[in-house]
Structure 1
Amino acid sequence: MVEPKHYPGLNEIQVNESRALHGVNILTPPEKESLLTRFLEKFRDPLIIILLVAGALSIGISIYEYYGLHEGAAVFFEPLGIFVAILLATGLAFFFEIKADREFAILNQVNDDEPVQVIRNGNAIQIPKKDVVVGDIVILSTGEEIPADGQLLEAVSLQVDESSLTGEPVCAKSTDPAHFDKEATFPSDHVLRGTKIMEGHGIMTVTAVGDKTENGKVFEAAQIDDSVKTPLNEQLERLGRLISRASYGIAGLIVCVRMAMFFINVGDGFDWMTFLSFFLQTIMIAVTLIVVAVPEGLPMAVTLSLAYSMRRMLKTNNLVRKMHACETMGAATVICTDKTGTLTENQMRIYNTDFFALPDQRLGNDATSRIIEEAIAINSTAQLDLSNPDKATVLGNPTEGALLLWLDASGHDYRKIRETVEIIDELPFTTERKYMATEVRSQALKGKSVLYVKGAPEIVYGLCSSTESDVDKSTIDKMLLDYQNQAMRTLGFAYKIMNDDELPFSEGAIAGRDLVFMGIAAISDPVRAEVPDAVKECIDAGIAIKIVTGDTPNTAKEIARQISLWNENDNELNIITGPEFAALSDKELMERIDDFKIIARARPLDKKRLVETLQKKGEVVAVTGDGTNDAPALKAAHVGLSMGDGTSVAKEASDITIIDNSFASIGRAVMWGRSLYHNIQRFVLFQLTVNVVACLIVLFGAFMGTESPLTVTQMLWVNIIMDTFAAMALASLPPSQSVMQEKPRSRNAFIITRLMKWDIITVGGIFFIILLALLYLFHHTYIEGLDSMFPLNLSAEGHDLSPYELSLFFSIFVFMQFWNMFNARSFETRKSAFHLKGCSEFLLIACAIFFGQVLIVEFGGEMFNVVPLRFIDWVIIVVATSPILWFGEIIHLFKRS
């Protein structure tokens, strides 16, 4: 007989001392940045910084022009336009991220007032969870969440769901060293805060509270912002440096050349006032070139592209919380994924049953199915929540719940069976016995008492004297080996028809060894149906997949085999356990990390170390996870992907939440990211071509001594309004499945490819030559309409361009860019610019640009320095500039062929 144990617990003095020494049982919430700080962070973008410098210079020039040269207030349009562009780009990014935060609506808070049973001063009392201290004696019951880390003093049939920390849905806990699981992630006599008791009960003494618990360490690690730069951040920084160096270099060249020209022309008649006036004019031209060179629309284009993708990705079950994650997914080279709930359904299911035929002459017709149904329904501690007609939910032990789900799927209501059967006696499952038994007054066998036994097949078989249908042991052993090789859990079933005076149990065990073995059931957490295809899609796209799980090596390997990640060429170099992983030095890990496909028995910070090491090797890392244990890695990764039904801590640490928990949605996120990057490249191609042309015109005017034919407000329309529309048009292009056939781009690759560079230089140069020729014609002949230009009547002396000629030049310049937008849209797509399926937004915005230009010229007046054009001139401009599209189509057709 076991003597009952007495636990006096802590007294009030000891409680206060413990709280002072070890702290309170509350997870310290992360410090939240203020909205102002988050908004100001948007100004750290390299292109925004360049725009701020250009804007400051532009303000200085505008003030001089207004007060010194007594020009009109229109001189302030340029700096105003620049700062409008800055505020739009930063404001939109800030707005969409705040909006996503609110939509996300996930809190890290836990219910710290939840009642917990503890023993203090020799009495069992209830206290709030936040008041638990180290040294407290806590009473644990089925269904409760464990309030703190502790060591078990007692454990009766204790099964704990540790999936939120280790990925293990069921861990058997014991105080008997003989029954400890040596491969367990945490000791078998330890329980952890935030895990849940699925079955049994126990008593523990608290060893850690609050931030000192394993849950707290994970939570704290998840708040560390490693400030990992995304590939797009790095490439835009390089682009910003290139643009600033080029514009400052050319501006410096303008100053040097014009100063040299001044001193050559002035000869001996040097005058300080003339020099200062000429020098100031030169500085203004140089600043104008810098302002023109800086792509005001690019930050906004990137923001609009990301914001548009955020909204569209939500329709594919990807809730994007942080804007950069849209594009960064497209650069991913490695995905580190957990197993439970991500690759698998996180619900135990019957894979197969091998119930042997029961002889009719002994039990009567139809007894086979009825006795199996009764054995499963009655000899179980689980329940099903059937309130949702579309999906039954297991309450209690997941393994036993799988049997009830199988019964339910077969059309049998376990509740009705239980209601009609009288339970005589029962023996609960323990880790020592490894089986459970229930004696009932059977309805399947009317008027008979039947003992049902279920448990570990080898133990249950040892209690039997015969097997139904005379199946021999070698056949059963072969079945079990086959299931175990597939990392499945197996249960054995037996029964016995009891005599009236026969006792089923003796000294806490089955009395006798004369049961009949009924058969076995194989149970597994099945792989999600869509996962194998989704994993193949990612591998074909050049993305490496690594499984990081708290499960056993055999189980992890079997799951990897089922999703085609593990093949016959893999060996022990491709799998490692958490303790082995932790024992590797940083140098050893760097050498071996590429080989790893599986890390089994992993602890939370193993995954984070894996991510950080991969990042040091230049990989772009995405991490998937649904548990608290995944949070540090989710936070450290370039992109963290949490599951829709994951823990709030995991969701808070992630950048994207996969609402439908489907790994296939990750493939769609990669496709969106890659397509988005191509769309940004197309906009860079489009806008830099515009800027090259504009800069060359300013440069030409600087050396020829003439003013730019494009006014400040006209450049404002071209550089901001039109480019914003173009950004929206190119950002709205639908994703292409073909990008999944490409390999991930190099992290060090520049956003401007060699092909883009030559396209910008060639097209920009051609446009400049055409516009330069037009300027010459307009300067040397009087144009009253494009239909009356020919025959040309060029005069020897030039003249200042009339408002009508300037309006023609402005419109021709814009429509050349308009048609080039279509060429940019089809750049590197292997499709025609006229392939407009799914591009309704592009067409709508293209129409807005087209008619917007007409409206600006017809009604812009003095503000835009334009006068209305004749209808025939509009027709000629549209038709005469359209060959830009046709030539582009011919070149793309030649490339495709």
Structure 2
Amino acid sequence: MELQPDSGSFSVDKARLAALVKNKNHEILGELGGVEGIISILRTNLVVGIHGSPQDLHHRRKTFGANTFRKARIHWFVDLLVSIFTDFINVVVFALSMYVVVSGIMINGWETGWKEGTYAFIIFLVFFIVSPIFELGTETYFQKATEVCRLVIVLRNGLMQQILYNKLVVGDVVYLKKGDKVPADGLFLDGHSLELDESKITGLKEEQTLPKMEKVDNSNPFLSAGAEVVDGHGTMIVTSVGRNTKCYQSKGEIYINEKTLLESETKYLEAYLEKIKWVVAFSYLPISLGRYFSGNARDDNGNRMFIYGETSVLYVSYDIVEIILAMIAISIAMDTSSFTWAIKFNLARAINKLKADNVIVKNISSLEKAALGIAGILIDESGTSTVNVSNPTERAILSWGVTELSMDLEKQMQDFCVVKVQSSNSSRGILLLSDNRFHVHWRGPAGTILTMCSSYYDNSGIKRVLNENLRTFLEQQMENSDSSKSQFIALAHTEVTDQDSTVEQDSLTLLRLLILIEKEQEGTNEESDLNVKLIIDKDSSAEDTNQTEVLVSFRSTQGDIVICDGNFASLAMVLRWGRCIWHNTQTFLQFQLTVNITSLLNTYIAYSEFKGVPQMDTRLTYVLVQLIWVNLFMAFIVAVNLGRENPSDELESTTTSNKLQLVKGTMWRNLIAQVVYQLVVLRIVENRGEAIFNASEDANQSITFVMPIFFQVFNMINARKIEEKNIFLGIRPSSIGLAVVLIFIPVALVELIRKLVGFERLNPIHWIACIVIALLCWAVALAIKFVPVRFFSIPIMAAINKFKALYHMLQFQALKIFNSLI
């Protein structure tokens, strides 16, 4: 069928098309002539799709927009500020800080009264800004790495093709099946029992949504980007893309990928820790307020801070606000946002490494599932990863053309324009246009194609007559071959005067006669639970062209991971990377849980022991700076460093089960030992450090400030090995170099805030003592690994499982009530 490129203007604008699906507006649909009218307006052909030439695609993107969602940097920064100043906790913190500024000026005058509230405001603001910036960097890296995972099947110029979802344009015909995400807004064309879950495009938070099923058919043809196909299959025509879609306008983004196993499991861990930290933080209020109003709170001079009937309301409110800010500082001591950074960095790096080795990860979760033995891996023997969705025969031919003839597929696609495509049960003909000349190519079973040929090209490229003797010889060779293991394919060509010319029965010239032999693979692991699919060089039979396309589409989407080079050795590499992702994520979680629990308990105990009200220009300031560095900067650095660990031989030999366990008993054992050691040391240093180090009060404050930082520097090395006693096994020189650099960071931090909070420079003896004490965490890590795991894993995991069950039950009941109200 003829298809000409589109260059003229369209008779509908993108705003009207966007309103069509956004509001499910049957009135607009009727005004535009129904679905058939939309097809005509967008100049789409249901048989061959859109033209798909570079000019056509450019014209459609220019008119209707591109299927991209990235915001400009200035817009992202504005959105960041808006989100910061609209978050409830942040608003409370900033309001309280401003109150401290105003009341401080009223109490102490302009010269010093503004400092405490201003310090708190600035440091809290930095804390709230730094985390989203790190999150953006990780998310950007993750999105770039996973672009190849987001593939959609479209019909362009008569050929089914797999393209990246961001290459989709308005007018494309898209094929959908169960499990797919709708990549853009569109209208239903054809299908069977197509049902969508639209719960993720409601604009509500994920925890506020229940499945929202929507049947799609001719009476309800609207499909929204981001919806998931939960049943059936079908085709759609794209009407809106990118920022014009309903989902983007309601949520500001489109979720093409589901949360992975690691992300979902981490969500429960984060929820568990969030509850714990707020329970701990709120428990500080009665302790501090009770001490204050009982008259036991003392200032730096030993005077009572509250005397009933004498202390003014201004002073009381000032002190209470500082206590509340200290409570919030305790809560942010446990920051779990870094958990997601580590997971996404690990996934992105593994995907990039596998991509370089001709392994395509189509389902991001599959890498994690591969480690558990539940992923579907598809091995493509052809050795060619082509964007066109084709059957095994065509892939084998393309592979031969690339490897043997050095054919440039991209150049061929640019030099030739597809005019017509004709298919039969076993053969395919295509009419191409190049340099104003029409070329007809046929590919099919050799017996069929030979009857259409009257000549052939020899090895020298000379055209010769295909006589009966040669024809008979070729037919005998095909008959004598083992038809169960080989397949003869012929390629033929001729030129015609115009696109309407008919090809004579025997006017073709034979180009090549190819033999496809089924390749026997060795080395499959029969004991593995992996779902391995092998594309063999035997074509699937189908009764008609449409059925062939369905079979092709089905086969091309079965594997979660596609090994394009057909090498079974790559299967072991996929398993190694899958286990490496789990291992690297677990090592980071062990590190970060140690940091979070230690910071939370140490901050809580320090504030609870404090006899007065934490002053924001002294204790609160250095605690917040310490938390910003340890919980955010160190977390990001360690996430990247541990995420760069490559798969080891130990991981390949590790036995796995399909039981999901993110935080193992060995991890609880290791981190509890570290938390106890670090917490004991920090409390001793803060309460007895002046005598132990022969240091002044200000110098001891400096030691108390730098000790947690040193602990986490060495804990970064310690966390590399969860079960092995030798933590230096396979360590990269860059990790050692990074640790050395990080050791000097506390020196700079002490100098940075020394004048603000009254720190004193430490002498070399003090620095060496701090480093040696921190180094002892390695000895603690070695000693605890001799303790059986059962003493740690059973009670902790039982508590978490009970929390999960309670969390699910409460969430389900809350969602039922919430949805009934709206």
TM-score by length of 1: 0.51
* Amino acid corresponding to residue 524 of structure 1 in structure 2: L
- The secondary structure found in structure 1 opposite 2:584 is helix
- Pick one of 97, 120, 127 that aligns with 1:62: 97
1:354-369 map, 5 Å:
none
1:270-309 map, 5 Å:
273=313, 279-295=320-336, 297-309=338-350
Task: Please say which of residues 65-74 and 247-256 is displaced more in the overlay.
Answer: 65-74
Deviation of 1:92 (Å): 0.7
Q: Is the 8 A contact 1:674 1:739 kept in 2?
A: yes
Deviation of 1:244 (Å): 1.3
Structure 2 partner of 1:856: 749
Q: CA 1:671 to 1:776, structure 2 compared with 1: closer, same or farther past 3 Å? A: same
Deviation of 1:885 (Å): 1.1
- The secondary structure found in structure 2 opposite 1:32 is coil
Q: Give CA deviations for 1:326-363 in whole Å, capped at 9, x if unaligned.
A: 767656722153766679785658xxxxxxxxxxxxxx
Deviation of 1:234 (Å): 0.8
Q: Distance in 1 between matches of 2:269 and 2:392?
A: 43
Q: Distance in 2 between matches of 1:239 and 1:318?
A: 32
Q: Is the 8 A contact 1:672 1:735 kept in 2?
A: yes
- Pick one of 357, 378, 383 that aligns with 1:337: 378
- The secondary structure found in structure 2 opposite 1:759 is helix
- The secondary structure found in structure 1 opposite 2:128 is helix
Q: Give CA deviations for 1:521-573 in whole Å, capped at 9, x if unaligned.
A: 9932554x9x754xx36x666322245899667x9xxxxxxxxxxxxxxxxxx
Structure 2 partner of 1:874: 767
- The answer to whether residue 697 in structure 2 is matched with residue 802 in structure 1 is yes
Deviation of 1:868 (Å): 2.2
Deviation of 1:778 (Å): 2.7
Q: Is the 8 A contact 2:377 2:562 kept in 1?
A: no
Q: CA 1:385 to 1:335, structure 2 compared with 1: closer, same or farther past 3 Å? A: closer
Deviation of 1:63 (Å): 2.8
1:82-93 map, 5 Å:
82-93=127-138
Q: CA 1:389 to 1:449, structure 2 compared with 1: closer, same or farther past 3 Å? A: closer
Structure 2 partner of 1:471: none
- Pick one of 264, 267, 292 that aligns with 1:237: 267
- The answer to whether residue 541 in structure 2 is matched with residue 524 in structure 1 is no
Structure 2 partner of 1:834: 728
- Pick one of 633, 637, 640 that aligns with 1:725: 637
- The answer to whether residue 550 in structure 2 is matched with residue 603 in structure 1 is yes
Q: Is the 8 A contact 1:300 1:724 kept in 2?
A: yes
Q: CA 1:218 to 1:334, structure 2 compared with 1: closer, same or farther past 3 Å? A: farther
Q: CA 1:766 to 1:673, structure 2 compared with 1: closer, same or farther past 3 Å? A: same
- The secondary structure found in structure 1 opposite 2:719 is helix
Structure 2 partner of 1:692: 597
Q: Give CA deviations for 1:284-304 in whole Å, capped at 9, x if unaligned.
A: 232111111124544444454
Q: Distance in 2 between matches of 1:449 and 1:881?
A: 85
* Amino acid corresponding to residue 254 of structure 1 in structure 2: Y
- The secondary structure found in structure 2 opposite 1:217 is strand
Deviation of 1:736 (Å): 2.2
- The answer to whether residue 584 in structure 2 is matched with residue 679 in structure 1 is yes
Q: Distance in 2 between matches of 1:433 and 1:740?
A: 49
Q: Percent identity?
A: 15
Deviation of 1:775 (Å): 2.0
Q: Is the 8 A contact 1:858 1:869 kept in 2?
A: no
Q: Distance in 2 between matches of 1:761 and 1:297?
A: 20
- The answer to whether residue 681 in structure 2 is matched with residue 770 in structure 1 is yes
- Pick one of 811, 819, 822 that aligns with 2:717: 822
Q: CA 1:20 to 1:888, structure 2 compared with 1: closer, same or farther past 3 Å? A: closer
Deviation of 1:806 (Å): 0.9
- The secondary structure found in structure 2 opposite 1:825 is coil
Q: Give CA deviations for 1:455-503 in whole Å, capped at 9, x if unaligned.
A: 899xx56xxxxx9xxxxxxxx99x65xx334364599xxxxxxxxxxxx
Structure 2 partner of 1:186: none
Structure 2 partner of 1:207: none
Q: Give CA deviations for 1:107-136 in whole Å, capped at 9, x if unaligned.
A: 99988799xxxxxxxxxxxxxxx9x9xxxx
Q: Distance in 2 between matches of 1:261 and 1:244?
A: 27
Deviation of 1:716 (Å): 1.8
1:309-348 map, 5 Å:
309=350, 312-317=353-358, 330=371, 333-335=374-376, 337=378
1:211-290 map, 5 Å:
217=235, 227-259=257-289, 273=313, 279-290=320-331
* Amino acid corresponding to residue 703 of structure 1 in structure 2: S
Q: Distance in 2 between matches of 1:37 and 1:578?
A: 51
Deviation of 1:245 (Å): 0.8
Q: Distance in 1 between matches of 2:712 and 2:457?
A: 87
- The secondary structure found in structure 1 opposite 2:515 is strand
Q: CA 1:860 to 1:696, structure 2 compared with 1: closer, same or farther past 3 Å? A: same
- Pick one of 2, 19, 23 that aligns with 2:40: 23
* Amino acid corresponding to residue 235 of structure 2 in structure 1: K
Structure 2 partner of 1:739: 651
Q: Distance in 2 between matches of 1:62 and 1:335?
A: 54
Q: CA 1:95 to 1:229, structure 2 compared with 1: closer, same or farther past 3 Å? A: closer
Deviation of 1:249 (Å): 1.6
Q: CA 1:37 to 1:288, structure 2 compared with 1: closer, same or farther past 3 Å? A: same
Q: In angstroms, what is the RMSD of aligned CA positions? A: 6.3
Structure 2 partner of 1:486: 485
Q: Is the 8 A contact 1:306 1:324 kept in 2?
A: no
1:167-178 map, 5 Å:
none
Q: Is the 8 A contact 2:369 2:375 kept in 1?
A: no
Q: Is the 8 A contact 2:702 2:750 kept in 1?
A: yes
Structure 1 partner of 2:123: 78
Structure 2 partner of 1:542: 529
1:340-419 map, 5 Å:
386=405
Structure 1: where are the runs of 5+ without partners?
1-15, 115-129, 133-146, 150-163, 167-210, 350-381, 396-427, 462-466, 468-475, 492-507, 510-520, 556-576, 583-599, 608-623, 644-657, 786-800
Q: CA 1:105 to 1:545, structure 2 compared with 1: closer, same or farther past 3 Å? A: closer
Q: CA 1:885 to 1:605, structure 2 compared with 1: closer, same or farther past 3 Å? A: same
- The answer to whether residue 745 in structure 2 is matched with residue 758 in structure 1 is no
Count of residues in correspondence between the two structures: 579
* Amino acid corresponding to residue 771 of structure 1 in structure 2: L
Q: Distance in 2 between matches of 1:522 and 1:89?
A: 54
1:384-783 map, 5 Å:
386=405, 451-454=468-471, 483-486=482-485, 488=487, 523-524=515-516, 526-527=518-519, 532-533=522-523, 536=524, 542-546=529-533, 603=550, 607=554, 625=556, 630=557, 641=561, 665=570, 667-706=572-611, 707=614, 711-742=623-654, 746=658, 749-778=660-689, 781=691, 783=693
Q: Which has the larger radius of gyration?
A: 1
Q: CA 1:551 to 1:728, structure 2 compared with 1: closer, same or farther past 3 Å? A: same
Deviation of 1:766 (Å): 2.4
Q: Is the 8 A contact 1:542 1:742 kept in 2?
A: no
Q: Is the 8 A contact 2:281 2:331 kept in 1?
A: yes
Deviation of 1:578 (Å): 12
- Pick one of 61, 66, 69 that aligns with 1:34: 69
Q: CA 1:17 to 1:81, structure 2 compared with 1: closer, same or farther past 3 Å? A: closer
